[in-house]
Structure 1
């Protein structure tokens, strides 16, 4: 079976296998990307982020159903914190998203593997696999930890930030980065006490910013406001289509730099491991004959 042909047909087993290759086998991954790269970069990518417990998975499940009703073919990549025991992803999200899977949505959990903000090469290339299979839009759900929420912006075309009154979110506790990246801010679980106050403070604090984001209230559990949210996403996708080529060019610039820097880093690490000069200077630093800055300058000159 030619995996690339099968991906194009939308064969789900081939898609799953290809994403596993992307995550685990660099050589085969490169060969697949080489074949499909020309046909990538056309799908809209929606980042959905926010603190743990904000109800993102239920929201994505319901939103995918609404987007599919509007004629879209949605896929979801849920980035999970790496399971330290297996190195795999924690699959809780899939359990909460079974309804949308039945309607044709493709869902895949990916381990973040400790990548900075989980924006690793495997995420970018998994998106390409899904694009090649004809999915549009592709929703990327990120964990609400560390830098992830802010870094997700480097990969997606628009960002949705989800809060809910239960997680103790208030304007005082919301991380600075989150207040700058959203195109849409959602107050989920809007039937809970405190949601109106949170909505007002988010609208006053973030809604008036230069970016002028949309602020909405939804309750994913009772499906209240989700259809309106999906329509708003479609509206934003259509307006973003005009600047997509320019945005895509700048994302490819970032990606190429990442790959080159990573290649150089690996090369330098290998060189240092076998360098007599490095070993000599290291001993000098360890015996306090020379400081690390001076040693690093001398070693670097020898490498360039």
Structure 2
């Protein structure tokens, strides 16, 4: 059954089904990507990242409502830490985005499944589904867990980094490579104690960065700073729209590399373990007759001429 006509009408069932296909069914996802790829790559992607408990969901809730008032049609993809029992995503985010959900915004949680490359693949294709259904901008929410947020910044056109005064080691988090990825930094829950101190630290660490991103204090609860944040976001959305063609070329180059390397890895892994020379060299290493580096060189040379 072809779901693309329902997708074009932004029917929720069709969107959910298409995203599930990309998550779980490689054969069907190949067919679907052929149909929707040509019309993808036009929406602005906003990545919102930060430690668990930074209040990203309630912030996104407010942001989505305001973007809709500006005449935009936002959708949200929330990357959840995988529920290890079921392998599905924990749907806490949807509960916290009540206003956005009530207003008819499409919100979907995606399980991170603990694999970095898999996140990129799953998100890139889910974005394409939402683009085909006419959503723009598309907001991706992720828990700031090192590699994931760097990956998000490779996919997003705009990266918003959220901190809050009660995430314990948030000052250290700021130092850890996160200063390069943000286009806007927010000290959220600015009504809480410690917010001013954190804001000062953020300015000290991030204020020296070359692109000099805005650092704002905001609160979803009191709405302090929300309209300033929206003004900065709106400026960036306009700017990124103009640069979209070029940034899309760079993203596709990165995606193609990822897919090729992934294909090669799978093929090599299959060849390796069915090859007699692999088991011969492995035995030599296990018997301490050869070191693993020398054995790896010999096996690699046998595979890649």
Q: TM-score range by the shorter chain?
A: over 0.9
Contact 2:9 2:133 in 1 (8 A): yes
1:257 maps to what in 2? 257
Structure 1 position 112, deviation (Å): 0.5
> Which position in structure 1 is the counterpart of 2:202?
202
Q: Note the aligned Cα RMSD (angstroms).
A: 1.4
Question: Is 1:55 the counterpart of 2:55 in the alignment?
Answer: yes
CA distance in 2: counterparts of 1:141 and 1:120, whole angstroms: 13
1:268 is displaced (CA, Å) by 0.7
SS at match of 1:174: helix
**1:227/1:111 CA distance change after superposition, 3 Å:** same
TM-aligned CA deviation for residue 120 of structure 1: 2.7
Q: Deviations over 1:112-170 (max 9, x none)?
A: 01122763311110010001100000000011223212221110001000011122355
- 1:2 and 1:94, CA in 2 relative to 1: closer, same or farther beyond 3 A? same
Aligned match of 1:37: 37
Tell me by how many angstroms 1:226 deviates. Answer: 2.0
Deviation at 1:176, TM superposition (A): 2.0
Alignment correspondent of 2:134: 134
Q: Deviations over 1:237-261 (max 9, x none)?
A: 1012222211111111111111000
Partners of 1:79 and 1:268 in 2: CA distance: 30
Distance change (3 Å), C-alpha of 1:206 and 1:118 = farther
- What residue number does 2:102 align with? 102
Provide the rounded CA distance (Å) in 2 between the counterparts of 1:264 and 1:163: 39
Instruction: State the match for 1:191 in structure 2.
Output: 191
What is the 5 A alignment of 1:205-224? Answer: 205-224=205-224
SS of corresponding position for 1:165: coil
SS at match of 2:216: strand
1:182-226: per-residue Cα shift (whole Å, max 9, x none)?
Answer: 110001111112212222221232123201101111111233322
The two structures have a TM-score, normalised by structure 1, of 0.96
| Structure 1 portions without partners, runs of 5+ | none
Alignment partners' CA distance in 1, 2:29 and 2:234 = 32
Greater displacement, 292-301 / 182-191: 292-301
1:16 pairs with 2:16: yes
**1:81 CA drift (Å):** 0.7
Deviation by residue 1:25-50 (Cα, 9 ceiling, x = unmatched): 01111111111101000000000001
Aligned residues: 304
8 Å CA contact 2:120–2:151 kept in 1: the answer is: no
Q: Which residue of 2 aligns with 1:157?
A: 157
- Structure 2 contact 51–143 (Cα < 8 Å) conserved: yes
Q: 1:176 to 1:146 in 2, by over 3 A?
A: closer
Take 1:166 and 1:103, find their aligned partners in 2: how far apart are those partners?
30
CA distance in 2, matches of 1:56, 1:216: 14
Q: What is the CA–CA distance in structure 2 between the aligned matches of 1:231 and 1:36, rounded to whole Å?
A: 32
Alignment of 1:2 onto 2:2? yes
**Cα distance, 1:169–1:69 mapped onto 2, change above 3 Å:** farther
Q: TM-score, normalised by structure 2?
A: 0.96
When residues 117 and 278 of structure 1 are mapped into structure 2, their CA distance, relative to the original with a 3 A threshold, is: closer
Q: In the alignment, is the contact (CA less than 8 A) between 1:117 and 1:148 conserved in 2? A: no
Q: Report the Cα distance in structure 1 between the residues aligned to 2:181 and 2:136, rounded to whole angstroms.
A: 22
- Deviating more after overlay: 146-155 vs 181-190: 146-155
SS of the aligned residue for 2:160 comes to strand
Residue 173 of structure 1 deviates from its aligned partner by 4.7
